[in-house]
Chain A
Amino acid sequence: QVQLEQSGAEVKQPGASVRVSCKAPGYNFPPSHIHWVRQAPGRGLEWMGVIKPNGDFTRLAQKFQGRVSMTRDTSTDTLYLDLRSLNSEDTAIYYCARELGETKKFDQWGQGTLVTVSS
């Protein structure tokens, strides 16, 4: 049973970068896509992108292209979300979520990581 464990809360200044991690032991057996979803305070869910099981392909929502990277470390079964050039609108809870195979549903979620962008 894959359990997604995310890194702790972060406070960043505008213009900085942040890295959020998602430890997903066994996520590649069976192969799972890992998606990143964020939720601004009091707002809805926003899909950011996905990293495929073998880690060599990512697909990002258009608004994040050029500012977001999604990577993985196979030695530790950890996925990473890097977000650059932060602004106040990036203040949100960031979730990693698993899609098992091509099931088109997010059946496991991390606990969320609060990123606050403030000067």
Chain B
Amino acid sequence: QSALTQPASVSGSPGQPITISCTGTSSDIGFYNYVSWYQQHPGKAPKVIMYNVNNRPSGVSDRFSGSKSGNTASLTISGLQGDDEADYFCASHTAISTYVFGSGTRVIVL
């Protein structure tokens, strides 16, 4: 199972919106609405910030939103803040009941 494809980095100024894409196949992202997103700060464990495409866990800022179209999922951060600078990984449940992660995107706040 190949990793889902994400851009290596995305940058934006404070207050601006950014969007991270996550492209898979009809056997993972396109098969179910089970896409989740994880934020990872350096030296820390990942933290879930979105699940089932567009559901935010309790306590996660509403500046984060998710969507999906076909085999591509997206995470949007509106009103970028300094603490948003981190690595972001998408993940998808697959048709054979495994999981696959994305390659990861470094978000840089300019």
Interface residues of A (CB under 8 A from B): 35, 37, 43-47, 49-50, 59, 61-62, 95, 97, 103-107, 109-112
Given contacts A45-B104, A47-B99, A62-B1, contact A95 B36 (CB under 8 A): no
Total chain B interface residues with beta-carbon distance under 8 A: 24
- Among B9-17, B68-76, B77-85, B89-97, the stretch that binds chain A is B89-97
In the assembled complex, which residues on chain A have CB atoms less than 8 Å from the CB atom of B103?
A: 44
Tell which of A45, A49, A50 touches B46, judged by Cβ atoms closer than 8 Å: A45
**Bound complex: CA of A62 vs CA of B10, how far in Å?**
31
On whether the beta carbons of B3 and A106 are closer than 8 Å, the reply is: no
Given contacts A45-B89, A47-B91, A104-B34, contact A109 B102 (CB under 8 A): no
Q: Which 3 A-B pairs have the closest CB atoms?
A: A105-B51, A109-B45, A44-B104
On whether the beta carbons of B51 and A104 are closer than 8 Å, the reply is: yes
Q: Among A37, A43, A45, which residue has the most Cβ atoms of chain B within 10 A? A: A45
On whether the beta carbons of B46 and A47 are closer than 8 Å, the reply is: no
